[in-house]
Chain A
């Protein structure tokens, strides 16, 4: 067995003239928690459904556990999918929903009972086995959907935006529970989401999609620090972009802003700068100083977000908020510092 449980090779999917996935190549390691991240309509769900067998590719290969499965039916694939809307069968009780897959495997009823009880314990739903789906809250329905999929011990667990139908507080809690489950069961998990915070917080590796193309693959922290293009940089969080030219290790923007000690080839470049890497205090002598003006201020609790102007560049600065720390006001002239080591040049 290879180290990769899923290998996606040159997959193309289109509906008529609509090219939904373009030459997708992804390898997913065994026991990984892998996230497909991207805006809606980027093809991430299509790829997930392709792995489950609900979509067909026009070209390319898909290996699950070393076996080419492009032409096998969903029921032959041994992957478990949790649907975004949970897709619990409304005419069956919780117990019946969960036992369905085991019954399809023709297990004996005592074994079924034992396994269902185990999984109910795992998702903390022991007392609800006789309820019908409509008698459950959103979070409980989610757990039933998970239990129904996990009870058959699939090789891969597919989660299609599983947290999107939950309220904010529950979402944070379920995130932790999903990770715990992943750890406990050691099951390869593919998670689809449009929320970069979820993706960063949960996944070991992720692939960012846009318009059917994989933009970047890697560990969340690497993708955040080293985005390969503007789309990825923007999608992973707020970022300042300054366009200009590099000459002799100096970056000069069109409006005349100069940044020293830049290591990049001569010519046109974009400077990417996260808001937390612009400072309002000079806490290090190597920092470069700029004159700026406060345009507006947002108090976010843990952070204060300043919209400032350096020359004609409107930039965002995020400053950690502490009690008794000075807060600048709109129109105030300030000094802003940056560290040329902490910028990303494209």
Chain B
């Protein structure tokens, strides 16, 4: 009886948490977008939106940038994925590990540095002009956003595409050959359709990420896009301006459509389930001339992938870097000011550890309730928690501002939205899906019998949690913690709305605000490097934990 009560009240508590900190703010954004100045329901805000040339242009630009980023990401990802899966290619390992590198740094961090590298008077164009007498407008206007976003997000397509290509059992191709099919026809009829779900999943993720991104366009002065417009409206005109909310609604709907597209792409097409054996596509050896082409492509893309990191590092160590291929001289001065302002780093470490802890606890209980109990509405809990993935951070931030600005903290009569702990909560809500996924993954692997045998020996639920489940899930819980922590530490779009004083600001905010001035770029880049190190370390740790866990559990996994 008690146990049931405990789990049920936990479920209700989590439900309330998600309701207050996820559902209500989003509903607020929708609600406000339909209110006129007198508080009556109306469509006039949407009408106004579509009457404004600026907003129409922003809408068009956002779609254009997101779409072109998908195109450019595909151009990076498809050859790499195909080389890895089709040929016996030594660089495959390199491709698969370099594929993850861009993901450890959000695009806005490297945006300014990329300008110095690829801009009209950046290193690459200076060299091109010197050698060949022409320049390529990598970073002109929207091109810059497209370029920076693609370099960062193409791994989403790469990883998904490689996974689905590797899932194509070689008998899929062999049986087609056996029936007389070959070459391009075979590729078009068998390989292409089978790899489509993976491609669409990756592409829609890229679309969503780019469409929602706030920091990159702001730092590249491409303000005529939806997310920057929403931010600028709210931050300059105020939280009562309806246009910010209208844009928020459009962002949410587009994101949900993108996620839905990915879902549709997979509906009834879990191809990996049907195929046993595996082994991926039929592999061929590269001819010598093909090898040259393949390696050149790989190294070109490798250079592009690493360029934001290299440029950021140069920027953080350089004195003056303008109209020259490399900085004039090198200095540690920027890191000195990073240390003098280490409050941002401390804030980030504090916020993100609390947020990640909340995520792991919630993730554990949600996955337990969903997988192990029959509590009514448990699936709903899971859906709502996971839906945070489809909610743009900016919109959630606006929703928090709107919802919690009118509520005052009892102890000092300041709005709740300005309290630093709200940053922690918004980070926790944003990163909950990551921790939840990690918890689900481990709990699904743990056989129910392990708990039932403890139960039959007279153990209570709490004892089972403490002595059986948590020790067994430790690896997954840790991995979830680290992932939530490290990705939260560079989160900008949600927190930017909620930072009320400098002293409460996290690292991402510092990077953003420093990067806006020429003098602040050096220290900003220094903060960027710190952020990259935190995420890289986190990613490395979680990989280590997962690998170690697999080694220990190798035996059990087979038995189950």
Contact = CB atoms under 8 A, between A and B. Distances in A.
Interface of A: 52-54, 73-75, 79-81, 83-85, 87-91, 100-101, 104-105, 132-134, 148-149, 152
A151 to B, nearest CB: 9
Contacts of B171: 83, 85, 87
B176 A100 contact: yes
A84 B277 CA distance: 10
18 contacts: A52-B178, A53-B177, A53-B178, A73-B182, A74-B177, A75-B178, A81-B175, A83-B171, A84-B277, A85-B276, A85-B277, A90-B275, A100-B189, A101-B181, A132-B268, A148-B179, A149-B179, A152-B180
A159 to B, nearest CB: 12
B190 interface: yes
Interface string B148-183: 000000000000000000000101101111111110
Interface of B: 169, 171-172, 174-182, 185, 189-190, 193-194, 196, 268-271, 273-277
10 tightest Cβ-Cβ pairs between the two chains A and B: A101-B179, A87-B171, A74-B177, A104-B180, A87-B175, A91-B193, A83-B171, A90-B271, A75-B180, A75-B182
Given A90-B271, A91-B271, A134-B273, A100 B174 contact: no
Contact of A101 (B180, B269, B274, B276): B180
A135 B269 CA distance: 11
Contacts of A83: 171, 174-175
B174 A90 contact: no
A75 B274 CA distance: 24
A85 B275 contact: yes
Given A85-B277, A100-B189, A91 B177 contact: no
A85 B193 contact: no
Contact of A133 (B174, B177, B194, B274): B274
A104 B194 contact: no
A90 B274 contact: yes
A148 B172 CA distance: 13
A74 to B, nearest CB: 4
Contacts of B190: 89
Given A74-B174, A85-B277, A91 B181 contact: no
A91 B182 contact: no
A52 B271 CA distance: 25
A190 to B, nearest CB: 13
A79 B178 contact: yes
Nearest to A52: B178
A87 B180 CA distance: 15
Nearest to A49: B174
Given A88-B274, A89-B190, A134-B268, A152 B174 contact: no
A90 B175 CA distance: 13
Contact of A89 (B172, B178, B276): B172
Contacts, number: 78
B185 A104 contact: yes
A139 to B, nearest CB: 15
Contacts of B269: 90-91
Nearest to B183: A75
B122 to A, nearest CB: 45
A75 B277 contact: no
Given A74-B178, A100-B179, A100-B181, A90 B277 contact: no
A85 B177 contact: no
Contacts of A152: 179-180
A172 to B, nearest CB: 22
Nearest to B189: A100
Contacts of B177: 53-54, 73-75
Nearest to B180: A104
Contact of B172 (A75, A87, A104, A149): A87
A54 B176 CA distance: 12
A149 B178 CA distance: 9
Nearest to A133: B274
A79 B273 CA distance: 28
A218 to B, nearest CB: 29
A339 B179 CA distance: 54
Given A73-B177, A83-B171, A90 B194 contact: yes
B274 A134 contact: yes
Contacts of A75: 177-182
Contacts of B193: 91
B376 to A, nearest CB: 30
B337 to A, nearest CB: 57
Contacts of A90: 194, 269, 271, 274-275
B199 to A, nearest CB: 13
A74 B174 CA distance: 8
B22 to A, nearest CB: 34
Contacts of B277: 84-85
Contacts of B196: 91
Contacts of A87: 169, 171-172, 174-175, 275
Contacts of B268: 132, 134
Quick one: which of B178, B193, B274 has the most chain A CB within 10 A?
Answer: B178
A158 B190 CA distance: 22
Contacts of A148: 175, 179
Given A52-B178, A90-B194, 6 more contacts: A80-B178, A81-B175, A88-B274, A100-B176, A100-B181, A152-B179
Nearest to B276: A85
Quick one: which of A89, A100, A101 has the most chain B CB within 10 A?
Answer: A89
A75 B173 CA distance: 11
